Amino acid sequence: MWNYSNPVKITFGDGGFNKLPELIGRRAYALITYPEAPFTDLAEKLVQAAGPAALIIDDIAPNPDYVLLADQSARFAQAGHPVEVIVALGGGSVIDSAKVFAAANGDFGKVAHFLETKTGAEALSAIPIIAVPTTAGTGSEVTCWATVWDEARGQKFSLARPELYPETAIIDPALMLGKPYNLTLATGLDALSHALESIWNVNANPVSARHAVVAAKIILDTLPKLVGDLGNLDYRARLAEASLSAGLAFSNTKTAIAHNLSYPITLRWGVQHGIACSFSLPTILRSMKGIGGFRETSLQEIFGADLESGAAWLTRFLNAMGVGCTFKDQRIPDDQVAGIIDQAFAGERGRNFIGTKAGFLASAEQQNRLAFEVT
């Protein structure tokens, strides 16, 4: 028995941004975005069409952290009018931050208490969210969780509440034009990781797997073309569609071992999230050989019948875009690797993984040997 559900209303296509005033209606809105162009121009356009915002928060950090989120959440309590809907215009950090604000409604302490104790859910709020992603990667516009970082204590939390699904997601590929190479690459690989992580997952189901296969095949075909032609709107639209499909896949499964490996690598060594959660994908893929069922069939539909050869192909794919596929390539000290792996398998996302630590370690050893032979 399995279940699949996703309550987010999705609008996809060029010009979707222009639907925002209609979706906001007469509600007092908060705009969450970035302070620089083109977001300032988009914010001005929205204000002209929908009226002044009750609150604008535009100092969003790449990895939303406790200290800044607490300050930003407090601004909701100081708004001239109670916020009735939140418009999140930006990348995954903007949409994740919006979910925190929706739950806190002026008091981040309630969110922190829930994250740290898993109690106090009844005190959390659920201000409606309209998500307008401007990158093709996180899929946060169709999920009900947000990543929250406590950098001072070296911790990462996941705020997961069914009430935090956005009410509407507007995917307008034109908003993604102008994004630079590194951001385009990292977000595209993040979406690829979401797709694959939802397949080698204990929570996978046939519907999530279909979304994942479609997403992965589009990304593997289109991402190399897009990073070589950043102004191509058709490629941007394909990646946006793939990111959305990956989001619809892992919205029902959450992520797995690649993401759990990534968190300390991002927090302690500053490796960009999309790279940190994708460099291990060939290692994990190789370890899936023989897993059976619709999961292996789905992976074979993407990479071919021989997953060993598929892992080698995926390694070449990542290498061609400058992404090394070993811990050493990511400059992780040798004496830290075992601890990262142990911690990853012990965590929630590690427990979502359908494979085993023994299988991963054997595959990682083979990946290291192949990388050494290449060099």
- Which of 355, 366, 268, 269 lies closest to 325 in space, CA to CA? 366
Q: Provide CB contacts within 8 A for 53, sequence distance 6+.
A: 29, 30, 31, 46, 47, 87
Q: What is the pLDDT of residues 285-329, one digit of tens each?
A: 999 999 999 999 999 999 999 999 999 999 999 999 999 999 999
Question: Residues 254-276: pLDDT tens digits?
Answer: 999 999 999 999 999 999 999 99
Q: What is the pLDDT of residue 95?
A: 98
Q: Which alpha helices (DSSP H) does the chain contain, by range?
A: 20-24, 39-50, 66-77, 92-104, 108-117, 181-199, 206-227, 233-250, 257-269, 273-276, 281-287, 293-303, 307-320, 334-346, 348-351, 357-374
Q: For position 1, what pLDDT does the model report?
A: 87
Please, are residues 64 and 55 in contact by the beta-carbon 8 Å criterion? no
Map out the domains of the chain with their CATH numbers. 9-175 (3.40.50.1970), 177-374 (1.20.1090.10)
The tokens describing 60, both together, are 């969003």
Determine contact, residues 249/212, Cβ cutoff 8 Å.
yes
Q: In the prediction, which pLDDT does 370 show? A: 83
pTM: 0.95
State the Cα–Cα distance between residues 23 and 189, nearest whole angstrom.
31
Q: What percent of the chain has pLDDT over 70?
A: 99
CA distances from 365 to 258, 280, 327, 331, 361 (A): 16, 12, 11, 17, 6
Q: Are strands 29-32 and 55-57 parallel, antiparallel or unpaired?
A: parallel
| 38 prior amide bond cis, ω within 30 | yes
Q: What is the DSSP secondary-structure string of 2-22?
A: -------EEEESTTGGGGHHH
Inter-residue contact 10 to 171 (CB < 8 Å): yes
Q: Any idea how long the chain is? A: 375
Write out the H or E segment, with its range, that includes residue 148: strand 145-150
Residue written as token pair 């046939």: 206
Is 152 exposed, middle or buried (CB count within 10 Å of its CB: 0-12, 13-18, 19+)? Answer: exposed
pLDDT one-digit tens code per residue, 40-78? 999 999 999 999 999 999 999 888 999 999 999 999 999
Give the per-residue pLDDT at 300: 98
Average pLDDT score, the chain? 96
Helix (H, G, I), strand (E, B) or coil at 78: coil
Tokens read off for 257: 């071992």
Residue with tokens 């929908």: 50
The closest alpha carbon to 299, from 309, 310, 315, belongs to 310
Q: Residue 375: pLDDT above 70?
A: no
Q: Which residue has the tokens 């109690």?
A: 119
Spatial distance between the Cα atoms of 279 and 314, rounded to a whole number of angstroms: 10
Nearest by Cα to 112 from 141, 153, 162, 75: 153
Q: Is 167 helix (H, G, I), strand (E, B) or coil?
A: coil
The tokens describing 321, both together, are 């875009």
Task: Note the pLDDT tens digit of each residue in 116-173.
Answer: 999 999 999 999 999 999 999 999 999 999 999 998 898 889 999 999 999 999 999 9
Query: Mind listing the pLDDT tens digit for each residue in 214-240?
Result: 999 999 999 999 999 999 999 999 999
Cα separation, 361 vs 346, whole angstroms: 15
